[in-house]
Every structure is written in structure tokens, then in C-alpha cells.
Amino acid sequence: MSGPLFARVALVGIGLIGSSLARGVKAEGLSSEIAIFDASPDARAAARELGLGKVEDSLAAAVTGADLVIIATPIGAYADLGPELARHLKPGAILSDVGSVKQAVVRDLGPHVPEGVHFIPGHPIAGTEHSGPRAGFAELFKGRWCILTPVPGSDTAAVERLQTFWQRIGSMVEVMEPRHHDQVLAITSHLPHLIAYTIVDTATNLEESTQSEVIKFSASGFRDFTRIAASDPTMWRDIFLNNREAVLEILGRFTEDLTALQRAIRWGEGDKLFDVFTRTREVRRGIIDAKQA
């Protein structure tokens, strides 16, 4: 299957994900026209320089006449975008996004969506620790999952069209309830990031002499956490503020498990440690088998 899927795609937010989408849409010929808006003049200038599409200086100009609008800003910006989007969305258009939390997106954007517009939130499970329009690349989504969370009553044909869009960009697509999405991502993504941010923060609070050694000898495990903890601060602030319940719930479980291991270390209970460390090894095998390693 080939040829354009949408006459005009509008991308709102042209950071790592938005600019990768622009490149992917172009590379796969998914749209004859790519319209771009970003609230940051710097990002718009970079997008122009990179030739990512037709860069507009207002949200209205980018969104007007688009058949597919994808919001790729930090989630915290959605609430403000809603009313303005509502005035310019074309009947029959699909409105989607790439945010890492889905219930909050339904809550913030849902009420603004005009009748006749298909609102289908989405979340590509892809990214790097780099941010901004220059960090994007067309292959970012290849072989990765994209989760769509249609709201009740969504038009099946529109969902299928968006599914085809992501498949042609290289992703595998899964459809899920927004609430379930937020629970699964709390453990697979939000908790790991919170933990990585914390451990790197703990290291930065050490005496300065030790800090330089932490960097020097980081290859022993710490390094992997610093990569995760280099992710975009605004994006992650908004994720934690908008998936609070699921994150606090999984964090509670994590803290219980950590306390149990701490106690085993204090009391020299080697068997308990060994059992946990053996069990966790199996999970890695599962990921390798699922070709997500």
C-alpha cells in the first residue's frame, strides 16, 4: 500500500517526536502537505531550516483544513490548546496526540472536540534522551509499538485509518483503554524514569570529591540511569503531574519491595536476595524473546 493517506497533516509541537513524525510522513509519502506549528519561535526557525514542512506562525493557520492533527507538545500545554483547536478543526478530521498519559488527555482535550471530529488519542512507545526538532529522525518509530486509546463511540473507520498511518510509519499498533494504558506505562516508563531521576539526584547531592569519581566510574551501572535521567524535564514534569494516581500506586509497591530487600541486606538474608535476583533474570529473557531488547 502506498500513496498519501491524508491530504494535509498538521503537527502541533515539533520536538523529538513531532520532528520525527514530520520526517516519517515525508519519507513514507503519507501526506501531500505537512503543516507545522510550535509555540517556540526557536523551534519554528529550526523546523524551517530543516525543511520539515510548511511552518506556520499560528496554531490556527497550521490546523485549518488539516485531515489529521497530531498534538506533540508536553501534556501540560494541552488544556490551553483545546479552545483554539476547537475553532479551527475541520469536520471529519482526526485529532490525535503522542502524549505519554492518556486519561488526562481525554479529560483536557475531550470536552473541546467539536462534533464531527474524530478524537483518537495515541502514544508511540519510542523516544531518546535527546530533545528538540534537530534530535528527530524518520526511523524512530520503526519496530516500536504505538498505543491508540479511542474514546467510547469512536468511528471505526477513523481508528483504522490512524492505525494504517502508524503502521506505514513503521510501528505495530495496539488499541487500549486510556485507564489501562496509564497503569501499564506507570510501571514500564514513568516509575523507571522517576527512579533514574532520583538516583542521579542522590549522586549530585554527594560531596564534590565523590561526584567526580561517580562520573569516572559510572560504567558500573550508574551510567544507564543517567541516560534516562537526561530526558526532557518539562515533558516529564507534566507526565508525573498528569498520571499521579497510577504513579503513586506503583511507587508504593516499589517502595515495599525495596524495603524488603533492604531488610534482607541488613539481616544478611542471602537466600532472599538470591531468589529475587534469579526471578528478575527471567524477565530479561522474556523481553529478548519478544524482540524488544
> Hey, which residues between 14 and 43 contact its own copies (CB under 8 A)?
none
State which of positions 163-192 bind its own copies (CB under 8 A). 174, 183-185, 187-192
Q: What span, in angstroms and rounded, lies between the C-alpha atoms of 160 and 173?
A: 10
Q: Does 217 bind its own copies (CB under 8 A)?
A: yes
Nearest to 193 by CA among 146, 137, 238, 136: 238
Cβ-Cβ contacts under 8 Å for 152 (sequence gap 6 or more): none
Could you tell me which stretch among 21-29, 36-44, 47-55, 202-210 binds its own copies (CB under 8 A)? 202-210
Could you tell me which stretch among 9-17, 79-87, 151-159, 215-223 binds its own copies (CB under 8 A)? 215-223
Nearest distance from C-beta of residue 138 to its own copies, angstroms: 18
Site string for its own copies, 247-266 (x = CB under 8 A): xx-xx-xxx-xx--xx--xx
Q: Does 278 bind its own copies (CB under 8 A)?
A: yes
Judged by CB, which is closer to its own copies: 37, or 197? 197
Q: Does 241 bind its own copies (CB under 8 A)?
A: yes
**Element containing residue 44 per DSSP (H, E):** helix 41-50
Nearest distance from C-beta of residue 170 to its own copies, angstroms: 13
Other Cβ atoms closer than 10 A to 157:
9
Check: CB of residue 190 under 8 Å from CB of residue 111. no
Judged by CB, which is closer to its own copies: 60, or 274? 274
Q: Does 227 bind its own copies (CB under 8 A)?
A: yes
**Residue from 77, 159, 195, 249 in contact with its own copies (CB under 8 A):** 195
Nearest distance from C-beta of residue 267 to its own copies, angstroms: 10
Q: Does 128 bind its own copies (CB under 8 A)?
A: no
Nearest distance from C-beta of residue 233 to its own copies, angstroms: 4
**Element containing residue 148 per DSSP (H, E):** strand 145-148
Q: What span, in angstroms and rounded, lies between the C-alpha atoms of 255 and 270?
A: 20
Q: What span, in angstroms and rounded, lies between the C-alpha atoms of 125 and 171?
A: 9
Q: What span, in angstroms and rounded, lies between the C-alpha atoms of 234 and 74?
A: 7
State which of positions 55-84 bind its own copies (CB under 8 A). 76
Q: Does 220 bind its own copies (CB under 8 A)?
A: yes
Query: Residue 19: what are its φ and ψ, rounded to 5°?
Result: -75, -30
**Residue from 53, 121, 127, 178 in contact with its own copies (CB under 8 A):** 127
Could you tell me which stretch among 26-34, 77-85, 110-118, 274-282 binds its own copies (CB under 8 A)? 274-282
Query: Residue 221: what are its φ and ψ, rounded to 5°?
Result: 140, -45
Nearest to 16 by CA among 45, 39, 41, 47: 47
Judged by CB, which is closer to its own copies: 85, or 140? 140
Nearest distance from C-beta of residue 77 to its own copies, angstroms: 13
Nearest to 235 by CA among 12, 76, 69, 16: 76
Q: What span, in angstroms and rounded, lies between the C-alpha atoms of 251 and 255?
A: 6
Other Cβ atoms closer than 10 A to 187:
16
Q: Does 142 bind its own copies (CB under 8 A)?
A: no
